[in-house]
Amino acid sequence: MKKILSILPLAFSFSLYAQNAKIRVDVDRTIATIDPRIYGVFMEPIHFNGRRMGLPDTVNFNTLYGTLYDPSSSLADKNGFRNDYIDAMKELKVSNMRWPGGNYVMGYNWQDGIGPKEQRPSRINLAWGGTDNNHVGTDEWIQLNKSIGSENIVCVNLGLGTINDAVNWVEYCNYKKGTYYCGVCGYPLFSSTAKFDSHTGWPSFYQPIKGNSVKYIIDQSYGMSRTEVACARCGSHLGHVFDDGPAPTHKRYCMNGDVLDFEEGK
């Protein structure tokens, strides 16, 4: 009881000197620069389906296909993205866009989204249900960021993917674009957009630049049965083609780099 009584006068004495607290915000004082990347967003094809969400069956739409990406819309640009969405993102000053987003990336294979759109495989959207025709892939996403003026950021799949998959994707986004020509006659053979890392040490492509750019010859040398690839114009030996390549063709054109000439930008 004595301890309680001794505390009361002490608390009373402090209360005599209590003052109202003030907080002052000095907007002119600069501590550090705010990284503009915090104003970024992400995108993935989230499929909303009424039955999955416990809503009426009439709810059925995708956050990417048919909305942001809609080539059939009168508002679409040459890449299929709607200009009204692009203008809105410019107004918001979106600094960067991450592709793909969160849950979706764990089952995403970036190689499904490169090459001619009509040859890209449709995959089940493991995160959100429905299917993804992969018509929006790496090259389309880069073009969208250019239209917005934002930085392109790829989110690599380290769930079902590998470190090499991530390395190859970064390389695909950054290596020089161009055309590979026959070193003998100058005939165009392969586009750099079809080039991939086969981990063999040989330049590898999943398809020629045109169907008639190369010709095929049965090669029975060295006790093996292989398909030789030669220049369609001059017949020069280029390499061989195998059936263990990536989508969309699953072909691996394993070429001799010494007979290919690269020209950037074409």
Residue 193 and residue 140 share a domain: no
CA–CA dist 94, 77 (Å, integer): 19
**CATH value at residue 89:** 3.20.20.80
Residue 162 and residue 243 share a domain: no
Known catalytic residues are 254
Residue 185 and residue 258 share a domain: yes
Cis upstream peptide for 246 (omega within 30°) = no
Q: Which residues are registered as beta bridge partners of 190?
A: 180
**How high is the pLDDT of residue 266?**
57
Residue 109 and residue 83 share a domain: yes
Residue 101 and residue 51 share a domain: yes
With a CB cutoff of 8 Å and minimum separation 6, the contacts of 186 are 261
Residue 161 and residue 54 share a domain: yes
Encoded amino acid at 41, one letter: V
Residue 202 and residue 167 share a domain: no
Q: Report yes or no on 119 lying in a domain.
A: yes
Name the burial class of residue 151, with classes exposed (0-12), middle (13-18) and buried (19+) by CB atoms within 10 angstroms of its CB: middle
What single-letter DSSP state applies at residue 33?
P
Residue 168 and residue 46 share a domain: yes
Q: List, for residues 119-151, the tens digit of each pLDDT value.
A: 888 998 888 878 889 999 998 999 999 999 999
pLDDT confidence tier of residue 17, bands split at 50, 70 and 90: low
Q: List, for residues 187-204, the tens digit of each pLDDT value.
A: 999 998 888 888 788 899
With a CB cutoff of 8 Å and minimum separation 6, the contacts of 29 are none
Q: Which domain holds residue 131?
A: 36-174
- Cα 200 to Cα 183, 196, 210, 253, 255: the distances in Å are 21, 11, 24, 11, 11
